[in-house]
Amino acid sequence: MVVLLAPYDLDELTESTLGMISSLIIMNDDNTALFEHGKTSKLRSFLTEKFLEAIRK
């Protein structure tokens, strides 16, 4: 089970970012495993790639 906690009053960017991260975690088993057991450097690269994709849209 994954629980993301955040302050009640979030700005739109923070809310969108947390939503994207939570979606990535549950998107598939490989992503879940990466967030649970992956190396920090691999997770950082993965998130960078996904954020850049989102920015380019």
Closest CA to 18 of 33, 30, 6, 32: 6
pLDDT for 28 equals: 97
pLDDT for 52 equals: 97
DSSP the chain: -------SS--HHHHHHHHHHHHHHHH-HHHHHHHHH--HHHHHHHHHHHHHHHHH-
**Each residue's pLDDT tens digit, 3-51:** 778 888 999 999 999 999 999 999 999 999 999 999 999 999 999 999 9
Residue 1 has pLDDT above 90, yes or no: no
Read off the pTM.
Answer: 0.82
